[in-house]
Amino acid sequence: MASLTLDKVRKAFGPVEVLKEINIAIEDGEFLVLVGPSGCGKSTLLNLIAGLEGSSDGEIRIGDRVINDVHPKDRNIAMVFQSYALYPNMTVRKNITFGLEIRGVSAAERDKAVADVAKLLQIEALLDRKPSQLSGGQRQRVAMGRALVRDPDIFLFDEPLSNLDAKLRVDMRTEIKKLHQRLGATIVYVTHDQIEAMTLASRIAVMKDGILQQFDTPQNIYERPNNIFVAGFIGSPSMNFINATLINDNGNLAVSIKRDNDPIILPLKDAPESYQGYVGKDVVFGIRPEGLTHKRTGSDQPGSQYFNFDCKVEVIEPTGADTMTVVEIGGKEIVARVRPDRAPQPGEIMTFSADMSQISLFDPVTELRI
Amino acid sequence: MADIQHYSHDAGWKHTILRGLLYLVLILFAAYYLFPLFVMISTSLKSLDEIREGSLISLPRVITFDAWTYAWNEACVGVECSGIKIYFWNSVKMAVPAVLISTFLGAINGYALTKWRFKGANIVFALLLFGCFIPFQVVLLPMSQVLGSLGLASSTTGLVLVHVVYGLCFTTLFFRNYYVSIPDELVKAATIDGAGFFTIFWRIILPISTPIIVVSVIWQFTQIWNDFLFGASFASGDNAPMTVALNNIVNTTTGVKQYNVDMATALLTGLPTLLVYVLAGKYFVRGLTAGSVKG
């Protein structure tokens, strides 16, 4: 187990810079998730940590040891790959112990290690099979077994669940989380799935175009996204962005959203100091679907600040637990999360409540959080 | 209802005729290719008298293997009359090492070109590929100079070298295309497990290469065994491969032309490649199409 530090890490392929000054530091036992759309550089970053690619600049440290020029096999890391990368010609047992064998661990110790890991992952019955005789979920377990058996400082996971079907993915997600809690291992996990990121991580690094957009705890990233990209990427359905103006409404700051007939005015209580400079200017008003609900009162949930407005319903999408209600405000489709028993009919005029305690304002030009 | 029955009856009838035509054409083609083989086999089993009396296509009245044993033990190659057998072994001594070495080198090349990509790997591969298109005749003179300076002129070792060099382009192409479809993650995983270039090659890559090894072996064996030009140019006399000896037997017989011996010698010469195809043919097709379909 060890901490991991990435200090101003850069990576360029020729003139193309794929990673720009990445600074990340996690403590021993943390679960770091690198998340972002494809091509954002998250897998490259993982390969840099693994040593499968060399960084162009910056420093990578495991614990206090700088590992930039250390060969992958000497970094004391283990990696689980998206395709599992099980050796097709070897049995499960051989697959798991191959790394130990190469490192000169005695046969007796190898047998004990493989038995322990097989028990932990419940793959004892599969040890003498070849990878081709295993199902996707079983292969996944074997791939994890191969990483676990080495007892490394850091585990690296490269989209390990993306080849599994939806149901199995959720199960394995829980198992990985359990495993992390039991072993207390330091894990770096790459995914493009923001739900995986939210559920697994102790800290998330959101990336886009080789730039680290935000590095924080899942809850902070969810509640206080750094910019419009992070706000839109994390959370499903994603955050609503509405073009609005910040106004001074009788001494209180408020968000004014233009409409054909009358504007929606949503007052902001306890507005942070940073909002002051934007009074009278355009802003992007971000509110998550769960912040827009059927009509509620402040007493429903202490600490919330509900303000009501009427709007025509365009489409409804029931999900069972909630009914996603699509309305049009300011020329944009906005999703509100409504309790099924309060769900409207399309075309109906309905009163919505906006919870103003959980909103974000962004600069429309820089797209940064205000 | 009646219409439908009529229609389907009509279609069935048409279907049968088309099938029949198809089979007829196929049988004609098969016969076209098999007929020379039939003539060769039947002639080789006849006595010389019978060949003179009977027609080309008639079956042997009395089957005799005299021509075969004569070809193997006594046929005259030039002035030497000890049969084709020493040349058969010459060909074996040439083909087996050349096939194994070129296949092995092709495998290493393909592995390095796909899994350990270096700067200019594509150019190296393109140049190797270019080697596939160089006609034999072009390299004859430079090759003989090289062999001469190495002291390998007119030796089986020299022939092995020539065939290895010439076959390398093809075997590299085979293995490179096969290894492209093997996920890189396999090599990455093994690297993290602590294995190096050759450990990964021996323990992981080579064991999963059976189909393409078979393709390479069949291809190389056929090419090398059947080669005449290199054999005739770079190995002479007692070191000549079987194809060259066959030519000498057929062309240098004085007096009566022994067709049955010629046929038997030719069949003996062709037998090893035939055998390789029969034994490994299904892997050949499987290997050629490997990678095109996932699974």
Separation of alpha carbons A139 and A126, rounded Å? 10
The verdict on residue A152 lying in a domain is: yes
Radius of gyration of chain B (CA): 25
| Binding-site residues on chain B for chain A (CB distance < 8 A) | 183, 185-186, 188-195, 199, 203-204, 207-208
pLDDT, residue B175, reads 94
Flag whether the ipTM exceeds 0.85: no
Task: State whether residue A364 is helix, strand or coil.
Answer: coil
Residues of chain A found within 8 Å of residue B193, distances taken between Cβ atoms: 73, 98-99, 102, 146
Render B27-93 in DSSP notation, one character per residue. Answer: HHHHHHHHHHHHHHHHHHTS-HHHHHHS-TTSPPSS---HHHHHHHHT--BTTB-S-SHHHHHHHHH
pLDDT tens track for A183-210: 888 999 999 999 999 999 999 999 999 9
Domain final residue, candidates A179, A198, A233? A233
The verdict on residue A197 lying in a domain is: yes
Task: State whether residue A67 is helix, strand or coil.
Answer: coil
State the average pLDDT for chain A.
89
Give the pairing of strands A186-191 and A31-35: parallel
pLDDT tens track for A299-342: 656 666 788 888 889 999 999 889 999 998 877 889 999 998 88
Domain final residue, candidates A212, A233, A254? A233
Distance from CA of B4 to the nearest CA of A (A): 46
pLDDT, residue B1, reads 46
Reply yes or no on whether the pLDDT at B223 is more than 60: yes
Q: Are residues A41 and A143 in the same domain?
A: yes
- Cα-flanking dihedrals φ and ψ of residue B151, to 5°? 75, 25
Q: Are residues A260 and A225 in the same domain?
A: no
**How many residues would you count in chain B?**
295
Q: Are residues A93 and A123 in the same domain?
A: yes
Q: Considering only alpha carbons, which residue of chain B is nearest residue A143?
A: B189
pLDDT tens track for A110-153: 999 999 999 988 899 999 999 989 988 899 899 999 999 988 99
Q: Are residues A228 and A330 in the same domain?
A: no
pLDDT tens track for A54-110: 888 889 999 989 999 999 989 999 999 988 899 998 999 999 999 999 999 999 999
Q: How would residue B7 be classed by pLDDT, with cut points 50, 70 and 90? A: low
Domain final residue, candidates A233, A249, A265? A233
Separation of alpha carbons B285 and B262, rounded Å? 32
The verdict on residue A192 lying in a domain is: yes
If one compares A18 and B78, the residue with the highest pLDDT of the two is A18
User: Strands across the sheet with A240-249, in order?
Assistant: A264-267, A252-257, A240-249, A282-287, A359-362
Residues 3-62 of A with CB under 8 A from B: 50, 52
Q: What is the CATH number of the domain that holds A29?
A: 3.40.50.300
Reply yes or no on whether the pLDDT at A261 is more than 90: no
pLDDT tens track for B91-134: 999 999 999 999 999 999 999 999 988 888 889 999 988 888 88
Separation of alpha carbons A354 and B141, rounded Å? 88
The verdict on residue A94 lying in a domain is: yes
Nearest to B185 among A81, A89, A90 (CB): A81
The verdict on residue A315 lying in a domain is: yes
Q: What angle do CA B151, B152, B158 make, to 5 degrees?
A: 160
State whether B192 and A85 contact (CB < 8 Å): no
Distance from CA of B192 to the nearest CA of A (A): 5
Q: Are residues A160 and A299 in the same domain?
A: no
Give residue limits of the domains in chain B: 6-62, 82-287
The verdict on residue A35 lying in a domain is: yes
Instruction: Please give the sequence-ordered ranges of beta strands (E in DSSP) within chain B, or none if there are none.
Output: none
Percent of chain A with pLDDT over 90: 50
Reply yes or no on whether the pLDDT at B4 is more than 80: no
Separation of alpha carbons A56 and A68, rounded Å? 10
Q: How would residue B295 be classed by pLDDT, with cut points 50, 70 and 90? A: very low
Q: Considering only alpha carbons, which residue of chain A is nearest residue B184?
A: A85
State whether A99 and B193 contact (CB < 8 Å): yes
Q: Are residues A171 and A258 in the same domain?
A: no
Domain count, chain A: 2
Reply yes or no on whether the pLDDT at B32 is more than 90: yes
User: Do the beta carbons of residue A22 and residue A45 sit within 8 Å?
Assistant: yes
Q: Are residues A246 and A227 in the same domain?
A: no
State whether B188 and A89 contact (CB < 8 Å): no
pLDDT, residue A302, reads 61
Instruction: Please give the sequence-ordered ranges of beta strands (E in DSSP) within A117-239, or none if there are none.
Output: 154-158, 186-191, 203-208, 211-216
Q: Are residues A168 and A259 in the same domain?
A: no
The verdict on residue A370 lying in a domain is: no
**CB proximity A79 to B under 8 Å:** yes
Instruction: Please give the sequence-ordered ranges of beta strands (E in DSSP) within A15-98, or none if there are none.
Output: 16-26, 31-35, 57-62, 65-66, 77-80
Reply yes or no on whether the pLDDT at B178 is more than 50: yes
Distance from CA of B182 to the nearest CA of A (A): 10
CA dist list (Å): A26 to A55, A61, B127, B252: 19, 11, 48, 85
Element (H, E) at A335: strand A332-338
Nearest to B141 by CA among B75, B233, B52, B223: B233
Q: Are residues A115 and A251 in the same domain?
A: no
Q: Are residues A244 and A229 in the same domain?
A: no
State the average pLDDT for chain B.
86
Average pLDDT (B219-224) is 92
Distance from CA of B120 to the nearest CA of A (A): 14
Domain membership of residue A325 as a residue range: 240-362
State whether A88 and B208 contact (CB < 8 Å): yes
Question: Which residues, including other chains, have CB under 8 Å from residue A43's CB and lie 6 or more apart?
Answer: A158, A159, A190
Q: Are residues A184 and A63 in the same domain?
A: yes
Reply yes or no on whether the pLDDT at B290 is more than 90: no
First to last CA, chain B: 46
pLDDT tens track for B233-264: 888 778 889 999 888 888 875 677 888 888 99
Q: Are residues A339 and A198 in the same domain?
A: no
pLDDT, residue A100, reads 93
Q: How would residue B292 be classed by pLDDT, with cut points 50, 70 and 90? A: very low
* CATH fold group of domain B82-287: MetI-like fold (1.10.3720)
The verdict on residue A151 lying in a domain is: yes
State whether B195 and A102 contact (CB < 8 Å): yes
pLDDT tens track for B33-77: 999 999 999 999 988 888 888 787 788 888 888 888 988 888 877
